[in-house]
Structure formats: structure tokens, C-alpha cells
Amino acid sequence: MNWTRISSILIVGFTAFGAIYGGLSMVFKPSGSLLSLSTGLLDGSPFVDYLIPGIFLFIFVGLFHLAALIYLLKKLPRTKEVMFAAAAVLAVWMVVQILIIGYVFILQIIFLVVAVVEMFLAVQLKKQQQ
């Protein structure tokens, strides 16, 4: 296994776990209390609580990254494309979040950087395949 593949597995796995945990936390406690979030952050947004954002985070970021992780571990065809797409969804999620609630947490920037790193790794994996 090379460093690109190992790094990809670690970062995609970390993102999948974090998004699944965060999404389910918001679904089970839409008040945001499990994550120490205030619904006041949602003022001016289309959401009154974290239920809908939690569902989106769980499905579109968490499960998509879990699928990318499975693709990576099993070395399935289209792994790089699935990984790149999952990273793009994460990037869009973070940008939309910042646009809706503003910059609030350092994690917003960290996960935006993580998305860019995932895209870079997916491109590197694709280059190594050729």
C-alpha cells in the first residue's frame, strides 16, 4: 500500500465517521444539544432546528464518504471518482453552511480543507492508476 492510498483511507474514514456521528446527533437531538450547538445559529436560515441539516449531513456527507471508504478498501472500479464526488459534496456542504450561518467554528475551515485534500488524493490515485 502506498502513502496516497493509506492517507485516503484514513481521511475518508475520519470524515465518514464524523459526518455520520454529527448527522445522527442532530437527528436524535434536533436541538443540537448533543453537539453543544444552539438553535440560535440557525436564525435567518430556513431551519428551525437541526433535524433537516442532520439528515442531509448523515446521508449526503456521511453515507457518501462511507461508500467511498468501502470503494477504497475493496479497490472497486471508479473508486477515485466516488472519492472525488464525496469530497465535492463535503466542500459544497461547508460552503453552503458558511453562507447560511456564517463562519462560526474552526471546524468549518478544517473540513473545507479536508475536502480539498480528499480531492487532491483522488486525483493522485487516478494518476497512479494510469
Give per-residue pLDDT as tens, 71-105: 999 999 999 999 999 999 999 999 999 999 999 99
C-alpha cell, 77:
472500479
pTM, two decimal places:
0.94
**Cβ neighbours of 40 (radius 10 Å):** 8
Report the half-sphere exposure of 59 (CA within 13 A, side-chain side): 7
125 has a pLDDT exceeding 80: yes
129 contact partners, CB below 8 Å, separation of at least 6: 80
Q: Locate 130 and state its grid cell.
A: 494510469
Give the pLDDT confidence score for residue 1 in this predicted structure: 62
